[in-house]
Amino acid sequence: MTVLILTKCPPGLRGFLTRWLWEISAGVFIGNPSRRVRETLWAEVKGYAGNGRALLVYSNDSEQGFTFESFEHHWQPVDHEGLTLMHRPRKAAVESAPTPKKGWSKASKRRRFGGR
């Protein structure tokens, strides 16, 4: 089984992938291509993704039963004692979560100005 997830990729690439894989949701493709076809599709994705990101997961004979590959993705596969885990950089998490301004709610404004 192969799962390919595209984010912000050109529509032509999505159309190209539908020749070999099923698109079960926007940008999410599944199928069971041969190893040679999977590697060719992954090379095409990396070549035509543009500013987009891609994540590939496929079955293999390991402890987990699958392997990850990523392209221009913030989360990276990391080997940890024989298991492949996805590592999310700390800096990306801090930048992506905006902090609310102080005193943005009505209750906060009432407390600040002594009103009801």
Q: Is the dihedral of CA 6, 9, 11, 13 positive or negative?
A: negative
Tens digits of residue pLDDT in 24-83: 999 999 999 999 999 999 999 999 998 999 999 999 988 888 888 889 988 878 888 888
Tens digits of residue pLDDT in 33-48: 999 999 999 999 999 9
φ/ψ of 113, rounded to 5, equals -100, 5
Query: Going by C-beta distance under 8 Å and a sequence separation of 6 or more, which residues neighbour residue 13?
Result: 6, 44, 45, 48, 49, 52
Beta bridge partners of 26: none
Tens digits of residue pLDDT in 89-99: 877 445 566 66
Whose tokens are 């993705």? That residue is 73
